[in-house]
Amino acid sequence: MATIRSGQPWPLGAATTPFGVNFSVVAPLATRVELLLFADGQAPEPFQVIALDPQLHRSADHWHVEVGGVGLGCCYAYRVFGPLQPGRHGFNPSKVLLDPCARAITGWEVYRREDGVGAAPNTASCLKGVVTERDRFNFQEFPRPRHSWQRSVIYELHVGGFSRGAGSPISPERQGTYLGLIEALPYLRDLGVTSVELLPVMAFDPHDAPHGRQNYWGYSPLSWMAPHHGYQLGSDPLEIRHQVRALVQACHQHGLEVLVDVVYNHTTEGSKAGPTLSWRGFDDRLYYHQNARGDYLDVSGCGNSIAANRPLVRRLILESMRCWALELGVDGFRFDLGIALSRGEELEPLDQPPLFEEIEADPELSDLKLVSEPWDCGGLYRLDDFPARRVASWNGRFRDDLRRFWKGDEASSWTLAQRLAGSPDLFGNQPAPVGRTINFLTAHDGFTLADLVSFNRKHNLANGEDNRDGDNHNNSWNHGVEGPCSDATINALRDRQLRNLLATLLLAPGVPMLLMGDEVRRSQGGNNNAWCQNSPIGWMHWQPDGGDLALRLFLQRLLRLRQHLAALINPPLPHSIASPLWRLEPGQLRLEWHGVQLDRPDWASWSHTLAWSLSDDRSGPLLWCGLNAYHQAMHFELPACTPGWLAVINTALPAGDDLPSQPGPWSEPATEVENRSLVLLAAAPLLEGASL
């Protein structure tokens, strides 16, 4: 039997000591806590139960004990006792609980989610924490790439799905794993992105899904510390953190930052009808927003909402962020429904949410990139006034307005101009500061880019919910035929629209984000909610045809062009959209609007054309771009460019010529912009000697 000492309240979780292992967990209202030690993850009963004496093993809200004779690899869990109150969850000592701070998890072979519900014991089917090392990431040898927001391009992908798919070049045994993703990194580096954003890789419950399906995306957190076991090569729980580190190290070697999509707004325990697995059993009244009757308050759409305003909950979230940023080396976080973390008691929105204040005040987190969704399922939407100055926000209006313009909707020219100007209408009549808006056309949630131009409506029957799930308003257009077709004219128009959409995204100020596989026309068959599709629907497209490769080449060159012109497209000092008579600040560029005639933009509701130019007081016009979403070609006047224009992009031209590696001169005073196409011209000195 293990020997026992009183232990220390810090650090939280399980940490090795010269004597053995120190265990510490938060349970403010508990009257009794038991630490259970298991021989391995499959053991049906603990080999030792250690009852913690409140006089020796409790410091305020923390229960702690130091156990001798155990070390790395020790499997453990808890039972927690406390007062029961009718109408509330109270405590359920029949349930064996996972430590919220466990850095690795075992017991998946025997785990049964349904055993967490009700009063019956779940000892034989529970998950256990595993004592692991807490080493710091080797930043000396693998430093953070630290790309500026100005030059950042994010690529959102699914760790399990990116290396899978017919024709995958990844070693078969490594497909779907952290190590498999390493083999795919040269592909991402060569594409030209700077940052990979990983869909949730914190441990989640794949069984948290209806109709016997699998939770594939991972927005169902079971732990905020442990990596997800489903992406591990092998089954040794002590190896999983090393594999995550290996992935991050490899990304850094390829110059790629790693952002992790984190779900701190809710947990997999769900509503009152859900299982008691971890947080709920230690103190559901601490972790979850509830009303006076004990009913859960839900702005996540998943049955519960985390009370991130409370000190002990904030401490756990911050500990999680430090775990991933300092121990595993990731470079930033994307907060799922992040604005929900700004809510206080009774879900009151807070202008100074304490969680974000503490994140921004923490020097060890100061060099991270932070991104958030500015909305939650309770209707809160704060984009320009997101209550954290270092957090960039997903700009959903950018997505919608670009789609509407190229779809040919009425009253779309003015709103598109706002997005191309940095969304001043959304940011207090000033363009968004660099690093505040994440611009995107597609994300994991919704149509892929190829499906956006191929389907008018969602096709989600494979999800088993009679096509009721997923958004019904996608601003998509099938161009005449629903889904794949053999009509060459329709397919050519769809391909042109893909280029129009990508070019508009990459030529706009802000931080662009791309979705896995959009560069090779990856399709989900019209499924716009593939959260449960661990199948070819949700995997990468690794068998591109000639058209797929042509689009990938277009995007590669487009990304090189954006990097080459980053100081113009996404400048530190926002573009001036004031009168041309106003003098510019040093280093500032003037953004001017045009229509088919210079200086005469058409903002009418029926307009489907727009042109813009960038210039400075010294050199004159530097860039000109014409966008024509009309069904006929339009003749656009051009501003005079003394050194001469180069024809950089023309999406109406054949693949390869639409964005040539060496742009040729354009000497005419006007240009024809074909129907539903985009043209970009650049002053010759800007691209002198450049190869795209």
Distance CA 356, CA 345 (A): 16
Amino acid at the residue 436? R
Please give the Cα distance from 325 to 333 (Å, whole number): 9
Cβ neighbours for 650, distance < 8 A, ≥ 6 positions apart: 657, 658, 677, 678, 679, 680
Helix, strand, coil share of the chain (percent; to 5): 25, 20, 55
Closest CA to 680 of 571, 561, 576: 561
Asked if 239 and 232 count as a contact pair (C-beta separation under 8 A), the reply is yes
As a whole number of angstroms, the distance between CA 471 and CA 469 comes to 7
Interatomic CA distance for residues 216 and 209, integer angstroms: 9
Q: Could you tell me the two tokens for 443? A: 């994300």
Beta-sheet pairing, 62-68 with 58-59: antiparallel
- Cα end-to-end span (Å), the chain: 68
Beta bridge partners of 621: 615
At 559 the three-state DSSP class reads helix
Which residues, at least 6 apart from 692, have a Cβ–Cβ distance to it below 8 Å? Answer: 557, 560, 561, 564, 659, 660, 661, 662, 663
Q: Which residue type, as a one-letter code, is found at position 555? A: L
- The count of other CB atoms within 10 Å of the CB of residue 445 is 15
Taking alpha carbons only, the member of 137, 184, 191 closest to residue 158 is 184
**Which residues form the catalytic set?**
336, 373
